[in-house]
């Protein structure tokens, strides 16, 4: 097993939770500050508001204008980012450890006292609009996002970029309101990993974000997705295929049974999809499936891209292999999956960046962080019998299918889509 | 951390950075071969061969190779470039001997005809996949425009025609000439036993015939100009430029990386403030890339087609600004950024292995990440200015890809 490490978790009175993992053998540290200000809070007619707000917050606050902010972070050697997801807006970075506290102070100053500079509103808006336009050329990305939106519905299937129309019309007052409502310590998560001193970091976070939270934001209304098959016509060389079917939320006690089964289907070069679709038949370059989860629901997404003439066969073989999985996995498949997990855990331990994202993920999905030993035990305790029993009583499907390309595919009656 | 090096009698190089503090090790086989070593009629053979290596050997079927790699967990993959092909796997220490034996065995592939035809289809799928993605084959087209008949002008993947027309006999010939012990290195980094590493390599590779490969490094004669590739269904416009830069053994490369960071890093650079902060482009950057005997600096922009001509002019102004002076503050920030990046990468085993192998590929003397960081620290403002003058980025080969066909080179 990897280095023994010390982890910490502390929830402050105002509802902010800080988690941290000490990695004293490193010379670096990484952190993320996740505000409960994701795009799920975008009003339905103002999609893209959370992302645009994030863009404007990062344009300066406190003593820093946008140039001063970037120079200050870069002077610390900080590889920084700000990004908007469905639940959270994240600000963070990785840097030489001696700059960690300074970088967190800089971020806090900017986030707590943002300028929302009117003179830069159009620059910020244009940056957001460019991102939306660029997605138009990203055919795999478009297919995946359509699949996700259809499966999870609104707002949990959203892409935080929003729409050209909505972002074009947003006013700075509306962004400020969004900020006031959602950039609150209640529900905020901070994760730190690498070389640092825990009492110092805990004290620092209390100082920087110890303020009281305003009233809780109300939960957004959830609207159901769309089921069945959808084809997006586009004159591309390849046809992009995305399948979605019900999975499990991360906190579900059976999550790893499903994750293990999907690992057999898709992890590694001996996995069933890679072997049957690519290696044996040469149908495509990329094929795979992965588990995805929002807080209270999960999905499995399958993906491939292949030239138009091979697309039907690719879909058919994918569905056949997914169907065959319900008949069970073998001991050697399970063992390969387990060793891959074990290696992955060990390898993740050398990177403070990887650990920060794992800590934040645990905290969000489970409300606590797991030790390496606990994760390892979860994986090692999987059995063929356990996975096969799960698969027998929870057949994979039904499938929602999205394709993008020249021609729609034939979805025969034998395919258990949700359309019927 | 201990650097170790040894050569087998047949010329195969073994390199390692042994780190007892690590908890796994990364291994790579580095072959000095890539698209620049191909003749036009076998374009793409290096990359196709990389795929075929995983199809098995006289002792292993393709399924067995995949099974064994997965049984060791970790991550494994391969990559082919203009002048290298690299096979790599990261594994827990308990798999050291097994992974070295497997990687070594893979370097003597069976190259079966039946696998050849199936894999050809996968390669063509890969080519078609990239043709659908921005910049829609633009990079290959620009390299061809810039390098002309020079071998670096050829596509790494090849084309559906060259790959479709390849025979397994042509691949075998190419393999025999390039995968020679004198042209290869087995590299490890992380927790590994070096004596056992060498002994395992000797056992698996010691009997390979003592051969070496040569590479004729033809001087590049860059071509300058402007061309367009019209892509009707794209939304954004993609602008790319290539200009000469230092080669992979030229000490100027450190100053050039600092210069390109100041001018065109994706954050905090002059181009960033000009195009990205202002929302005039979705992405933009300037970065250097080195080969044996030649180097290049690439500038790129992805933006709304309506802004493309103005953005070309803005890029031109940023490039010109290099000649008007660089401040001490800019130099210090660029160094800090590069050195922090080196530090973060040096804490991870896999990047260290690639760094070690990369130095061998380029024929450089081994340097630790700390020593490389020092080389950047020592670069002076005068050296950065000198590089800016020696390699004017405005003298370039430009390609525009997208709906616009009326863009023009900036005067």
For chain B, the maximum distance between any two Cα atoms, rounded to a whole number of angstroms, is: 63
B63:A279 CB<8 A: yes
Residue B158 shares a structural domain with residue B302: no
Q: Is the pLDDT of residue A119 over 50?
A: yes
What pLDDT does residue A417 have? 64
What pLDDT does residue A4 have? 59
Question: Which residues form the domain of B265?
Answer: 225-402
Tens of pLDDT, residue by residue over B330-366, are 999 999 999 999 999 999 999 999 999 999 999 999 9
Tens of pLDDT, residue by residue over B358-377, are 999 999 999 999 999 999 99
* Region B311-321 average pLDDT: 98
* Inter-residue contact A301 to A145 (CB < 8 Å): no
* Inter-residue contact B347 to A27 (CB < 8 Å): yes
Residue B176 shares a structural domain with residue B234: no
What pLDDT does residue A413 have? 61
* Inter-residue contact B253 to B295 (CB < 8 Å): yes
Tell which residue, A332, A234, A348, A420, has the closest CA to residue A5.
Answer: A348
B71:A95 CB<8 A: no
CATH number of the domain to which B352 belongs: 3.30.830.10
Instruction: Confirm whether B214 is domain-assigned.
Output: no
pLDDT band per the 50, 70, 90 thresholds, residue A3: low
Instruction: Confirm whether B361 is domain-assigned.
Output: yes
Q: Which of B154, B173, B205 is the last residue of a domain?
A: B205
B67:A270 CB<8 A: yes
Residue B143 shares a structural domain with residue B237: no
Q: What is the DSSP string of A60-115?
A: EETTEEHHHHHHHHHHTT-EEEEEE-SS-EEEEEEEEGGGHHHHHHHHHHHHHSB-
Q: Burial of B142 by CB count in 10 Å (0-12 exposed, 13-18 middle, 19+ buried)?
A: buried
Residue B141 shares a structural domain with residue B39: yes
Residue B277 shares a structural domain with residue B311: yes
* Region A327-353 average pLDDT: 94
Q: Is the pLDDT of residue A97 over 80?
A: yes
Percent of chain A at pLDDT exceeding 70: 97
Q: Is the pLDDT of residue A346 over 70?
A: yes
* Inter-residue contact B103 to B110 (CB < 8 Å): no
Quote the Cα angle for B376-A192-B346, to 5°: 30
Q: How many CB atoms lie within 10 A of CB B216?
A: 8
**Which B residues, 162 through 221, put their C-beta within 8 Å of a C-beta on chain A?**
none
Instruction: Confirm whether B101 is domain-assigned.
Output: yes
CA A259 remoteness from chain centre: 16
pLDDT band per the 50, 70, 90 thresholds, residue A414: low
Q: How far is residue B102's CA from residue B67's CA, in Å, rounded to a whole number?
A: 11
* Inter-residue contact A329 to A384 (CB < 8 Å): yes
Question: Which of the pair, A292 or A348, is modelled with greater confidence?
Answer: A292
* Inter-residue contact A380 to A338 (CB < 8 Å): yes
What pLDDT does residue A227 have? 84
**Which A residues, 126 through 185, put their C-beta within 8 Å of a C-beta on chain B?**
126-131, 133-134, 136-139
Q: Is the pLDDT of residue A208 over 50?
A: yes
Instruction: Confirm whether B197 is domain-assigned.
Output: yes
Looking at the DSSP assignment, which residues form a beta bridge with residue A81? A92
User: Which residues in chain A are contacts of B69 at CB distance < 8 A?
Assistant: 268-270
Q: Which domains does chain A have, with CATH numbers?
A: 37-183 (3.30.830.10), 229-405 (3.30.830.10)
Decide the pairing of beta strands A238-246 and A298-307. antiparallel
B102 Cβ partners below 8 Å, 6+ apart? B65, B68, B69, B72, B89
Instruction: Confirm whether B218 is domain-assigned.
Output: no
What pLDDT does residue A1 have? 45
Instruction: Confirm whether B216 is domain-assigned.
Output: no
Residue B248 shares a structural domain with residue B377: yes
CA of A351 vs chain B CAs: smallest distance (Å)? 7
pLDDT band per the 50, 70, 90 thresholds, residue A420: very low
Q: What is the mean pLDDT of chain B?
A: 97
- Chain A and chain B share a number of CB contacts under 8 A equal to 185
Tens of pLDDT, residue by residue over A245-281, are 999 999 999 999 999 999 999 999 999 999 999 999 9
Residue B318 shares a structural domain with residue B253: yes
Quote the Cα angle for B203-B204-B206, to 5°: 65
Quote the Cα angle for B241-B247-B253, to 5°: 85
Residue B364 shares a structural domain with residue B243: yes
pTM of the shown model: 0.95
Q: How far is residue A277's CA from residue A280's CA, in Å, rounded to a whole number?
A: 6
Residue with tokens 């800090």: B336
Domain count, chain B: 2
A285:B279 CB<8 A: no
Q: Which of B172, B205, B238 is the last residue of a domain?
A: B205
What pLDDT does residue A363 have? 97
Q: Is the pLDDT of residue B114 over 80?
A: yes
* Region A133-153 average pLDDT: 96
* Region B166-176 average pLDDT: 97
Q: How far is residue A393's CA from residue A297's CA, in Å, rounded to a whole number?
A: 19
Residue B296 shares a structural domain with residue B177: no
What pLDDT does residue A148 have? 96
Q: Is the pLDDT of residue A216 over 90?
A: no
Q: Is the pLDDT of residue B122 over 80?
A: yes
């Amino acid at each position: 097993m990897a280095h023994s490490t010390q982890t910490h978790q502390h929830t402050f009175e105002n509802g902010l939770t800080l988690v941290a993992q000490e990695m004293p053998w490193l010379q670096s540290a990484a952190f993320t500050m996740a505000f409960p200000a994701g795009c799920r809070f975008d009003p339905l007619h103002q999609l893209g508001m959370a992302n645009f707000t994030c863009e404007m917050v990062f344009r300066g606050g406190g003593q820093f204008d946008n140039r001063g902010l970037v120079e200050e972070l870069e002077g610390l050697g900080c590889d920084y980012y700000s990004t908007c997801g469905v639940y959270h807006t994240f600000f963070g970075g990785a840097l030489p450890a001696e700059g960690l506290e300074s970088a967190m102070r800089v971020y806090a100053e900017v986030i707590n006292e943002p300028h929302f500079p009117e003179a830069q509103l159009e620059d910020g808006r244009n940056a957001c609009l460019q991102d939306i336009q660029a997605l138009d050329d990203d055919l795999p990305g478009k297919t995946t996002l359509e699949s996700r939106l259809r499966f999870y519905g609104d707002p949990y299937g959203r892409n935080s970029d929003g729409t050209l129309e909505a972002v074009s019309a947003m006013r700075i007052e509306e962004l400020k309101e969004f900020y006031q409502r959602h950039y609150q310590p209640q529900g905020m998560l901070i994760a730190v990993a690498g070389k640092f001193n825990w009492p110092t970091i805990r004290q620092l976070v209390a100082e920087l974000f110890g303020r009281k939270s305003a009233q809780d934001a109300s939960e957004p209304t959830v609207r159901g997705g769309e089921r069945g098959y959808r084809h997006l016509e586009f004159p591309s060389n390849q046809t992009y295929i995305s399948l979605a079917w019900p999975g499990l939320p991360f906190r579900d006690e059976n999550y790893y049974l499903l994750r293990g089964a999907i690992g057999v289907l898709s992890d590694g070069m001996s996995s069933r999809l890679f072997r049957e679709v690519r290696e044996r038949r040469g149908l495509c370059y990329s094929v795979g499936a992965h588990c995805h989860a929002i807080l209270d629901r999960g999905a499995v997404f399958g993906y491939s891209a292949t030239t138009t003439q091979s697309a039907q066969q690719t879909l058919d073989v994918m569905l056949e292999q997914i169907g065959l999985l319900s008949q069970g996995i073998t001991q050697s498949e399970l063992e390969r999956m387990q060793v891959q997990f074990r290696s992955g855990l060990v390898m993740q331990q050398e990177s403070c960046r990887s650990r920060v994202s794992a800590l934040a993920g645990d905290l969000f999905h489970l409300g606590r962080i797991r030790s390496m030993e606990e994760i390892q035990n979860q994986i090692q305790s999987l059995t063929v019998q356990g996975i096969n029993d799960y698969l027998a009583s929870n057949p994979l499907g039904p499938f929602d299918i999205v394709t993008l390309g020249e021609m729609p595919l034939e979805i025969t009656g034998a395919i258990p889509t949700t359309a019927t | 951390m201990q650097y170790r090096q040894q050569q087998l009698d047949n010329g195969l190089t073994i390199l390692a950075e042994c780190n007892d503090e690590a908890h796994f090790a990364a291994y790579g086989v580095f072959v000095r071969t890539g698209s620049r070593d191909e003749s036009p009629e076998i374009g793409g053979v290096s990359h196709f061969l990389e795929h075929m290596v995983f199809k098995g050997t006289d002792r292993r079927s393709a399924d067995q190779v995949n099974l064994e790699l997965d049984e060791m967990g970790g991550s494994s993959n391969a990559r082919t470039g203009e002048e290298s092909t690299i096979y790599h796997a990261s594994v827990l220490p308990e798999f050291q001997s097994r992974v070295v034996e497997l990687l070594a065995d893979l370097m003597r592939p069976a190259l079966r005809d039946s696998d050849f035809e199936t894999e050809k289809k996968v390669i063509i799928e890969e080519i078609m996949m990239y043709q659908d993605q921005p910049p829609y084959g633009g990079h290959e087209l620009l390299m061809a425009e810039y390098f002309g008949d020079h071998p670096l002008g050829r596509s790494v993947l090849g084309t559906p025609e060259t790959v479709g027309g390849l025979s397994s006999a042509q691949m075998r010939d190419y393999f025999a000439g390039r995968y020679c012990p004198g042209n290869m290195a087995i590299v490890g980094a992380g927790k590994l036993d070096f004596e056992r590493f060498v002994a395992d390599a000797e056992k698996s590779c010691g009997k390979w015939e003592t051969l070496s490969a040569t590479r004729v490094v033809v001087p590049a004669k860059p071509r300058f100009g402007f061309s367009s590739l019209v892509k009707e269904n794209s939304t954004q416009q993609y602008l790319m430029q290539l200009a000469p830069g230092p080669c992979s053994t030229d000490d100027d490369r450190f100053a050039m990386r600092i210069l390109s960071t100041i001018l065109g890093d994706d954050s905090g650079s002059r181009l960033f403030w000009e195009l990205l902060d202002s929302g005039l482009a979705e992405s933009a950057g300037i970065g250097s890339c080195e080969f044996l005997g030649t180097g290049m600096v690439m500038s790129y922009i992805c933006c709304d087609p309506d802004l493309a001509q103005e953005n070309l002019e803005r890029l031109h102004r940023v490039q010109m600004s290099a000649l008007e002076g660089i401040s001490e503050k800019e130099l210090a920030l660029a160094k800090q950024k590069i050195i922090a990046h080196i530090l973060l990468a040096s804490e991870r085993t896999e990047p260290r292995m690639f760094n070690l192998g990369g130095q061998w590929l380029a024929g450089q003397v081994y340097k630790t990440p700390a020593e490389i960081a020092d080389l950047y620290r020592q670069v002076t403002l005068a050296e950065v200015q000198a590089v800016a003058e020696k390699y004017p980025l405005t003298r370039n080969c430009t390609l525009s890809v997208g709906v616009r066909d009326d863009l023009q080179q900036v005067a």
